[in-house]
Chains A and B, each alone.
Chain A
């Protein structure tokens, strides 16, 4: 101890202390920092490398070479930072064709995916290495085969509380200000619905696993599928858009058509000259 104390004024002492401190801080940081998402661990290094190549070609022009986003002078961005968005966000955005965006618009619409499933997996693997974020959901979220009617009912309660404000009570979607909209939910895969809840794409809020648990999420998905697959007891659903559009159709097309038919019946009738 004495030896150490006598050398504390040595010219190199400061450097030694600094190195020691850096080593301790770095060591502690690497020990306690978030582990990258599980998808990154299962993905091979080859996937990550291939994903990085795909990213540099197809995504970097908006999201930046390091995926840290490109900001505009006015404080917006061409593409947001992707650090920490996780594999789930990539799988949702690329898997539903929302990314890459075809043109600048209030909202990226879903379209046919540009990348194959394999390429999407590679991109997701690369983005997942950049920072901790939600992984691609597994069967815990998406397996709805064994759901009981009670679970579906509970999923419906969660859906009506958290989702119907934007997506309509049967998932028919709805309008938002400024040309934005909440999309329809029919035909969306269970995996993509779970990913949307976990990552909150575009204007959609996040519904994290801590608040809406994986089981709640799978119940919600089961409810959506149940609503969409049950027969239409009321006849044609008309898009399920609600009473305003249905009333408008009935009044204009239905009653209007009947009026035209009545006028036509009154105006027509064969006559003969013969007495």
Chain B
């Protein structure tokens, strides 16, 4: 009895069943099937070559304005031929691997990945010899100055990255100033209150965007124009005056229900002009921040954290809409130093 028990513990408790017997594919045992697969694969590669030739022909022959099912005929043919060729090459390779390439199971035993103890000792010895010969350990002055220079390597990167753009503070003013006309974007035409109906939305800009100097050159152009535009863009809306509930001190910022707000969302600065004229809500398409323009641009929904800045309006002697001043609030996306910048802006005005 005990002998049998000893035998059992010596042996494997569960016998290794080994690999199941290899099963052949039809192409392995039937020469006709093998020939058929070979022809299939060759056929696919050949058609792929023809399609690639067809690609070149289509590129030369087809007129670029020709259409096919509402698509550009040339683009359709180029895509169909090149895509078809690549697809056939891929399918051919898979068919080759599955039907004809050897598929016998193999067993490969795992070996430890580490080097032998002797090799590791030799490597360490070489390394230590190198350190001793260079004097890296014995000459701390050199070593430390090397570390210093390496850490200073970061400085040029920091300086150059810092110089890529202005920091937000110090650039809180826009080109709006007292008396500047509010003009229609794209057209550049000034706006009279009588031009606007209740429910109207105008995407507007400060007049300086369209002004020319005495040489006939645009006052603002290039990068400067785009930078100023990205801060100074506004929307002008007209509501029924009785619908508007102005905050204290803002009672005279509008004209007969015409109000002007920054077009730049206070969340991360997307341009917003998605205005619902019946609810007076302005919706930002990026993150769904919603501002109530009848209620001082208050945030009524979404991630924006502060109201949309409002531009006080007045009329000039010719009856066109003008700004009373620059925005009394910092425009654009909010950032950590905003409260400090707002204080500077308040001190200045």
Binding site for B on A (CB under 8 A): 154, 157-158, 161-162, 165-166, 174, 176-177, 180, 200, 202-208, 210-213, 216, 231-236, 265, 269-275
Contact = CB atoms under 8 A, between A and B. Distances in A.
B186 A161 contact: yes
A234 B237 CA distance: 38
Nearest to A163: B273
6 contacts: A177-B276, A177-B283, A180-B276, A231-B70, A235-B79, A275-B24
A268 B79 CA distance: 30
Contact of B26 (A161, A211, A234, A270): A270
Given A232-B70, A233-B75, A265 B94 contact: yes
A209 to B, nearest CB: 9
Contact of A211 (B76, B199, B202, B273): B202
Nearest to A271: B23
B296 interface: no
Nearest to A275: B24
A174 B284 CA distance: 12
B248 to A, nearest CB: 25
B74 to A, nearest CB: 9
A235 B192 contact: no
Contacts of B276: 176-177, 180, 203
Nearest to A154: B186
Nearest to A174: B285
B201 A206 contact: yes
A205 B237 contact: yes
Contact of B25 (A180, A200, A204, A269): A269
B81 interface: no
A206 B200 contact: yes
Given A206-B199, A211-B196, A232-B71, 19 more contacts: A158-B186, A161-B203, A165-B271, A165-B274, A177-B276, A177-B288, A177-B290, A180-B276, A200-B199, A203-B277, A206-B197, A207-B201, A211-B184, A211-B202, A231-B72, A233-B71, A234-B75, A235-B76, A275-B24
Contacts of A174: 285
Q: Which of A210, A232, A269, A275 has the most CB of B within 10 A?
A: A210
B287 to A, nearest CB: 13
Interface string B159-195: 0000000000000000000000000111101011011
Contacts of A208: 195-197, 200
Contacts of A177: 276, 281, 283, 288, 290, 301
A272 B197 contact: no
Contact of A161 (B185, B189, B279, B283): B185
A204 B24 CA distance: 70
B141 interface: no
Given A200-B200, A269-B25, A275-B24, A211 B191 contact: yes
A221 B290 CA distance: 29
A232 B281 CA distance: 35
A76 to B, nearest CB: 10
A210 B195 contact: yes
Nearest to A235: B71
Contacts of A213: 187
Contacts, number: 108
Nearest to B94: A265
Nearest to B204: A211
A272 B195 contact: no
Contact of A210 (B67, B186, B192, B203): B192
B229 to A, nearest CB: 11
A226 to B, nearest CB: 14
A181 B274 CA distance: 11
Nearest to A198: B197
B26 A272 contact: yes
A270 B36 CA distance: 15
Interface string B69-106: 01110011001000000000000001000100000000
B334 to A, nearest CB: 21
Contacts of A236: 71
Contact of B274 (A166, A202, A270, A272): A166
Contacts of B71: 231-233, 235-236
Contact of A165 (B191, B198, B285): B285
B223 interface: no
Contacts of A206: 197-201, 277
A274 B278 contact: no
B76 A203 contact: no
A28 B184 CA distance: 35
A166 B271 CA distance: 12
Contacts of A200: 197, 199-200, 277
B155 interface: no
A216 B187 contact: yes
B25 A272 contact: yes
B45 interface: no
A174 B71 CA distance: 24
B29 interface: yes
B87 to A, nearest CB: 11
B24 A272 contact: yes
Contacts of A205: 199-201, 237, 275, 277
Contacts of B277: 200, 203-206
B272 interface: yes
A274 B24 contact: yes
Q: Which of B71, B274, B285 has the most CB of A within 10 A?
A: B274
Q: Which of A154, A165, A203 has the most CB of B within 10 A?
A: A165
Interface string B329-341: 0000000000000
Contacts of B75: 233-235
Contacts of A216: 187
